[in-house]
């Protein structure tokens, strides 16, 4: 059976001992691209969402550092909502895939690694612009 999911879940190494837990990620091996930018999201008010866009060229790796949130992902055909709550689990989002983060726990901290520097022209939003973009890419 073919995997049509427009994302990849990456389980990172987890080392646990009496001193606590250590997890790490390496660019271009575990994270499937060279990291050019990092940003983190926290202090999200109840009921608010983040993202709500896709990128033309930028790839992202989204890591739930603390707490939990849901991520809605679609490529226009396949869609899924995934709960992220394990800090040793990354979700890799390729370019051309819409995602929206929601249902944040009060203590949520989300780290995002990107394959490109910030470029406002790379964003696809609103949703109908995203759908038009993916239709022209067929």
Q: Is 121 helix (H, G, I), strand (E, B) or coil?
A: helix
In whole angstroms, what is the distance from residue 94 CA to residue 58 CA?
A: 7
> Counting Cβ atoms within 10 Å, is residue 101 exposed (0-12), middle (13-18) or buried (19+)?
buried
Residues of the chain with pLDDT under 50: 1
Q: pTM here?
A: 0.91
In whole angstroms, what is the distance from residue 80 CA to residue 64 CA?
A: 17
């Amino acid at each position: 059976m073919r995997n049509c999911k427009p994302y990849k879940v990456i389980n990172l190494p987890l080392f646990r001992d009496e001193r606590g837990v250590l997890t790490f990620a390496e660019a271009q091996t575990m994270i499937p691209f060279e990291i050019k930018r990092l940003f983190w999201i926290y202090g999200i008010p109840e009921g608010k969402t983040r993202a709500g866009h896709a990128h033309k060229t930028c790839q992202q790796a989204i890591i739930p550092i603390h707490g939990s949130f849901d991520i809605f992902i679609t490529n226009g055909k396949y869609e899924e909502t995934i709960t992220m709550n394990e800090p040793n689990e990354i979700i890799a989002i390729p370019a051309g895939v819409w995602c929206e983060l929601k249902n944040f726990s009060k203590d949520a901290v989300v780290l995002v690694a990107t394959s490109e520097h910030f470029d406002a022209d790379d964003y696809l939003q609103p949703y109908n612009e995203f759908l038009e973009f993916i239709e022209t890419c067929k």
